[in-house]
A and B are shown apart, each in its own frame.
Chain A
Amino acid sequence: MSTQTALAIDARGLGKSFGETRAVDGVDLAVPAGAIYGVLGPNGAGKTTTIRMLATLIPPDAGSARVLGHDVVSEAATVRELVSLTGQLASVDEELTGRENLRLLGRLLGYPRAAAKDRADELLDAFDIAEAGGKLVKHYSGGMRRRLDIAASIVVTPRLMFLDEPTTGLDPRSRNQVWEIARALVAEGTTILLCTQYLEEADQLADGIAVIDRGRVIAEGTPADLKASVGTGSLYLRLLHPGQRAEAAQLLERTVGPVVLEPEPAALSATGADAGRAAIAVAELSRAGFPLVHFSLQQPSLDEVFLALTGHAAEETSPLSDDLQEHLS
């Protein structure tokens, strides 16, 4: 069981069509073991289809993939012993209680009856759902359901876990809980492949990111790499006296770079700021008699990264995501 492979996922030219639609069109992924790797893209980019191929749910029609050193087609059974999937639709049984869901999976994974029960209780406690353990899952809140879903995925701790949009539709508090659980899993040695359309989520969790659009990987790197590829950040300032804005802007142009006047009358920002130049600019402004209420140095957001890479915005609004549609069809 302890075969050490450098790559948790090694996919080459992975492809899949549904009828006329080329959902995944030659995806290469090299995911190192022991980290969180983010697959970032808008709805319908092919994220879910990619995950479903890697989790042995559907066979690819082009390319190949090895998961923890095993081929997803010819060694699918071995792959299934090592991975678990937390799908976009929470993969738990709504008509059973939370406890029954976990006991069911414990039994299916080979625990004897009593051990399955103990394991279920241990997980309910750890994931803060013990009180609702006897309630039917269909009465759970979104956050509870998601935690149960993740608990169900680690009844036996997998070597690799697929997390498909784990925080879609969750409130910020539940989202933070899910993030903490993901970090705890990685700390215990599990590799996570995280699919998300939330740029902040990838930025928060992932050590490496592949940006995927229209079935292809269009960029790869660390969150910092991707941000750097778009350019430097900007310095945001709010003055005490709005009347001083024009003069302050002149000073900023000289010390930092092009200035943008913000909608708020006392606010302005300068692009092309690194930390050093920003510090000098702030000091000079104070010395020159421009009192500041607020200043901050902002990194380019992954939103901007996405726009720069694809030429279109990351958040496409569609009533039902394409990934979900393809999943249901």
Chain B
Amino acid sequence: MTATTTAPGSADTAAVRRAISSTPRPTRPGPLSAALTFGWRGMLKVKHVPEQLLDVTVTPVMFLLMFTYLFGGAIAGSTSAYLDYTLPGLLVMSVLFTTVYSGVSLNTDLTKGVVDRFRTLPIWRPAPLLGSLLGDSVRYVIAGTVIIVVGVALGFRPDGGVLGAVAALGLVVAFSFGLSWVFSVLGLLMRSPNAVMNAGFMAIFPLTFLSNVFVDPATLPGPLEAFVDVNPISVLATASRSLMAGAPDGTAIVVSLAVAAGLAAVFLPLTTRLYRSR
């Protein structure tokens, strides 16, 4: 032990010391600037891990093709008539699937330790959460746009035109802002990103199928029809359909937004509290 010499490290100590001493202390950023920086982080992730986006868009596109060509004729008489019915609903499905990833990425941050870093920074405390929402919204818009573009390629020509389609997308994204906090809470409570993903899809999958996204509930048995009618996803799909058709259904739109606001009112404070204490 006494005769050994220390192996030289390759880190250049002089450069390290220069780097340490050369820091002027900048003034801390404002809340908005910090949140926007976290939004930029979300964007970088979309850039580096585009597969994640693929995961959530492939399933709805697959459903779109499958349902339109396999069942479209049987359900609605013709594939083009069914496309008109189901596409606005698939838009809902596609974007809502993406919200699960808000919880997954939050959980990833938590289990990887990077949240500890953020929480020891002198920044406005909700900035990481609001910032990731900004990043998420980009994902929502991409997921929604993909489904609309594929629909148009298959012959979908909504009466509401481009404006109707954009309005429907906007409404669905707004709803997702509310819903994403549910998955954020899940993301803060569960042990692994995979668990969050499984739990998220376990909830959202049946809820999407037990809605009017694929079939007109009028043909369903009474109790099921009653459930489908009150399912918020049905209401949102109805609102999306009405906007795309150029005949906005005021009630469905207001109820959708109210549900989103309700979810946010409950789960946003819960998220910030959990985020602070974990």
Contacts and interface: CB of A to CB of B under 8 A. Distances in A.
A313 interface: no
A227 interface: no
Contact of A95 (B19, B45, B113): B45
Given A57-B119, A80-B121, A88-B113, A96 B20 contact: no
A128 interface: yes
Q: How large is the interface on B (under 10, 10 to 19, 20 to 34, 35 or more residues)?
A: 35 or more
A52 B37 CA distance: 25
A228 B25 CA distance: 43
Contacts, number: 151
A2 B116 CA distance: 26
Contacts of A187: 17
B132 to A, nearest CB: 12
Interface stretch (A102-110, A211-219, A240-248): A102-110
Contacts of A185: 20
Q: Which of B16, B26, B41 has the most CB of A within 10 A?
A: B16
Contact of B20 (A91, A115, A184): A184
A55 interface: yes
Contacts of B28: 81, 109-110
Given A80-B122, A91-B113, A110-B29, A328 B19 contact: no
From A90, A95, A112, A190, residue with most partner B Cβ within 10 Å: A95
B2 interface: yes
A157 interface: yes
A328 B118 CA distance: 16
A57 B11 CA distance: 31
A188 B20 contact: yes
Interface in A144-189: 147, 151-152, 154-157, 172-173, 176-177, 179-181, 183-185, 187-188
A156 B26 contact: yes
Given A80-B120, A108-B123, A94 B112 contact: yes
A173 B120 contact: no
A122 B19 CA distance: 7
Given A107-B29, A119-B23, A177 B11 contact: yes
Contact of A296 (B1, B10, B113): B1
Nearest to B8: A176
A65 interface: no
Given A80-B120, A81-B28, A154-B23, A95 B16 contact: no
B113 A184 contact: no
A296 B1 CA distance: 8
Interface of B: 1-3, 6-13, 15-23, 25-29, 33-34, 37-38, 40-41, 44-45, 48-49, 108-109, 111-114, 116-123, 191, 277
6 contacts: A105-B121, A109-B122, A110-B26, A156-B25, A181-B11, A184-B17
Given A89-B112, A107-B40, A152-B117, 5 more contacts: A81-B28, A85-B116, A95-B48, A107-B33, A107-B37
Shortest Cβ-Cβ A-B pairs, 8 listed: A89-B113, A110-B26, A177-B9, A91-B117, A126-B19, A126-B15, A81-B122, A177-B11
